[in-house]
Amino acid sequence: MRVSEVLSIRVPRDLKKRMMALRDVVDWRREIIAFLEERVRYYERLVALREAEELLRGHPVLPRGMVVRMVREDRDSG
C-alpha cells in the first residue's frame, strides 16, 4: 500500500456541481491522480531536458565530419 497525502484545491462552484452530476460516471479521484501523474512526468522530462541542454552548452562544438574522421583514424590504427 502506498502512503498518501491529502491535497485540497478550490474549484469554481459551477464546476463542482457539474462534476458531482457526473460522479456516477467518472471516478474523479482516479482521473485527477492520473492527470497529476502525467503532468509531473511531463515537467520532470522538461527539467531533465533543460539540464541536459545546459550541460551541452559547456562542451565545444566539433567541426562537421570530425567524429567520422576520428572513428576512421581509430579503426585504421588498430
Give the 3-state secondary structure percentages of the chain, helix then strand then coil, rounded to 5.
65, 0, 35
Report if pTM > 0.75. Answer: no
Contact yes or no for 19/9 (Cβ under 8 A): no
Q: Which three cell numbers stand for residue 72?
A: 576512421
Listed in sequence order, the residues at least 6 apart from 11 whose beta carbon sits closer than 8 Å to its beta carbon are: 19
Residue from 56, 15, 77, 30 nearest 69 by CA: 77
What tens digit of pLDDT does each residue of 12-62 get? 999 999 999 999 999 999 999 999 999 999 999 999 999 999 999 888 888
- Sequence letter at residue 29: R
